[in-house]
């Protein structure tokens, strides 16, 4: 459930208080950007999607129901925007483009390059998945949402989520073995 | 259950319930290949989760907030502009509709527009009500005209009618 402070901010935003909405943006923009980036793999696209998502939230705040978490709602909007992006010609052109170095600012500078490469490869592999599998993989394995929240965001039932997750994980595992054959072997030892 | 049936359960380990986990653990205890697969899957999963823990960061969060707020403010202004344009269009449309109604209703209500309708009604009413009288009048008129024509036939040519005479007779018959 959401904190009373957040609910108060939402209520004030619904009444048109832009300052209250600004606080909500500050609270959730990192999450929104992260999921958009993990889906698109392109910084500028992720930023555009984040902006558009908040504009949509602002416009449809009147429809917001207290029972649903704002973050879940935001995830839903971002997923829809990401799917729209995937259908666009721009995405088809940039399909295999993933910006390396997106995961900068890690705490351990020594691991920075490895992590950046791993993030880049995983996002690139995720982009090759069918859209339902990609959604489920990003939300469950990268965003680490519980299964019921993934169901709520994607509109799928638990069975479908698990089934898509299984195929997604198999593809990702296979891809990682190709990219990091030695690495996986080392892990297996 | 055979090993291939456990493959899906191994991959979906975090989503399994307690009973399913118990069943899988029992199998892993007796199957070395499944245990190896389970361990490598777990390591890959951990690595992916580790990567998931590294959140992609916004280059400039403040700029992002500012941009979003700018778009919201501009969006509101655009909505107002759209509303004012819509209102203006609605005004013109209403004016056009009122002119249309005034024009057509005005024509309908004008005195000259009503007169022919009333006359027609009177004529039709008189025809319906005075049918017998009308027939009688018509018969009289015809016999009178015939009589007038007979009276005006020329003395030398029976097929020729004196036109001046006939006009005079008909004029008299209309007067009476």
The per-residue pLDDT for range A77-123, each reduced to its tens digit, is 999 999 888 887 555 555 555 555 444 444 555 566 677 778 888 88
Question: What is the count of residue pairs from A and B with beta carbons less than 8 Å apart?
Answer: 103
Asked if A113 has any chain B CB less than 8 Å from its own CB, the reply is: no
Could A188 and B71 be called an inter-chain contact, meaning their C-beta atoms sit closer than 8 Å?
no
Contacting residues of B for A121, CB less than 8 Å apart:
none
Asked if A106 has any chain B CB less than 8 Å from its own CB, the reply is: yes
Query: Rounded to whole angstroms, how far apart are CA atoms B70 and B64?
Result: 10
- Least confident stretch, A91-95, A123-127, B65-69, B90-94: A91-95
Closest-CA distance, B81 to chain A, in angstroms, reads: 16
Please give the pLDDT value at position A74.
92
> Per-residue pLDDT for B76 more than 90?
no
Could B44 and A184 be called an inter-chain contact, meaning their C-beta atoms sit closer than 8 Å?
yes
Asked if B118 has any chain A CB less than 8 Å from its own CB, the reply is: no
Interface probe for B, chosen from A43, A166, A186 (most Cβ of B below 10 Å), is A166
Please answer whether residues A102 and A120 qualify as being in contact, where contact means their C-beta atoms are separated by less than 8 angstroms: yes
Please give the pLDDT value at position A112.
65
Flag residues of chain A having pLDDT under 50.
101-106, 189
Please answer whether residues A49 and B67 qualify as being in contact, where contact means their C-beta atoms are separated by less than 8 angstroms: no
Please give the pLDDT value at position A137.
95
Interface probe for A, chosen from B56, B72, B82 (most Cβ of A below 10 Å), is B56
Please give the pLDDT value at position A80.
93
How many CB atoms neighbour CB B53 within 10 A? 11
Please answer whether residues A164 and A132 qualify as being in contact, where contact means their C-beta atoms are separated by less than 8 angstroms: yes
Query: Rounded to whole angstroms, how far apart are CA atoms B154 and B141?
Result: 22
Please give the pLDDT value at position A58.
92
Mean pLDDT, all residues of chain B: 78
| Closest to A85 in 3D by CA, of A39, A54, A119 | A39
H-helix segments, B29-60: 32-53
Element (H, E) at A30: helix A18-40
Please give the pLDDT value at position A47.
94
> Per-residue pLDDT for B176 more than 70?
no
- pLDDT tens digits for range B112-162: 555 555 555 555 555 555 778 878 888 888 887 777 777 777 666 666 777
Please give the pLDDT value at position A65.
80
For B160, how many CA atoms within 13 A lie in the half-sphere containing its CB? Answer: 6
Please give the pLDDT value at position A90.
56
Residues of A74-87 as b/e, b for ≥16 C-beta within 10 angstroms?
Answer: bbbbbbebbbebbe
Query: For residue A79, what are the contacts with CB-CB under 8 A and spacing of at least 6?
Result: A35, A39, A135, A139, A153, A154
Please answer whether residues A58 and A79 qualify as being in contact, where contact means their C-beta atoms are separated by less than 8 angstroms: no
User: Domains in chain A and their CATH numbers?
Assistant: 1-95 (1.10.1740.10), 109-189 (1.10.10.10)
- Residue B83 tokens, joined: 């509303």
């Amino acid at each position: 459930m959401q904190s009373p402070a957040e609910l108060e901010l939402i209520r004030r935003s619904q009444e048109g208080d832009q300052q209250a909405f600004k606080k909500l943006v500050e609270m959730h923009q990192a999450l929104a950007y992260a999921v958009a980036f993990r889906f698109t793999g392109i910084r500028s696209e992720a930023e555009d999607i984040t902006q558009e998502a908040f504009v949509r939230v602002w416009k449809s705040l009147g429809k917001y129901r207290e029972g649903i978490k704002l973050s879940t709602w935001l995830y839903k909007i971002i997923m829809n925007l990401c799917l729209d992006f995937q259908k666009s010609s721009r995405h088809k052109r940039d399909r295999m483009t993933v910006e390396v170095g997106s995961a900068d600012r890690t705490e351990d500078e020594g691991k920075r390059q490895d992590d950046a490469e791993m993030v880049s490869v995983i996002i690139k592999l995720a982009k090759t998945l069918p859209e339902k599998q990609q959604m489920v993989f990003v939300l469950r394995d990268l965003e680490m949402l519980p299964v019921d929240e993934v169901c709520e965001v994607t509109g799928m039932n638990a069975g479908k989520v698990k089934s898509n997750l299984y195929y997604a994980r198999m593809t990702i595992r296979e891809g990682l073995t190709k990219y990091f054959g030695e690495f996986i072997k080392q892990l297996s030892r | 259950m055979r090993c291939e049936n456990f493959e899906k359960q191994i991959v979906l380990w975090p989503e399994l319930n307690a009973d399913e986990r118990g069943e899988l653990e029992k199998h892993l205890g007796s199957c070395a290949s499944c245990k190896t697969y389970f361990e490598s899957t777990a390591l890959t999963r951990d690595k992916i989760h580790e990567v998931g823990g590294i959140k992609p960061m916004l280059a400039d969060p403040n700029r992002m907030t500012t941009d979003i707020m700018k778009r919201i403010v501009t969006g509101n202004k655009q909505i107002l502009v759209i509303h004012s344009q819509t209102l203006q269009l609605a005004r013109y449309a209403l004016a056009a509709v009122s002119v249309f109604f005034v024009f057509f209703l005005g024509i309908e209500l004008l005195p000259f527009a009503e007169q022919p309708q009333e006359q027609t009604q009177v004529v039709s009413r008189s025809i319906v009500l005075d049918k017998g009288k009308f027939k009688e009048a018509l018969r009289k008129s015809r016999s009178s005209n015939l009589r007038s024509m007979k009276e005006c036939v020329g003395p030398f040519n029976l097929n020729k009618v004196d036109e001046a005479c006939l006009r005079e007779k008909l004029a008299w018959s209309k007067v009476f």
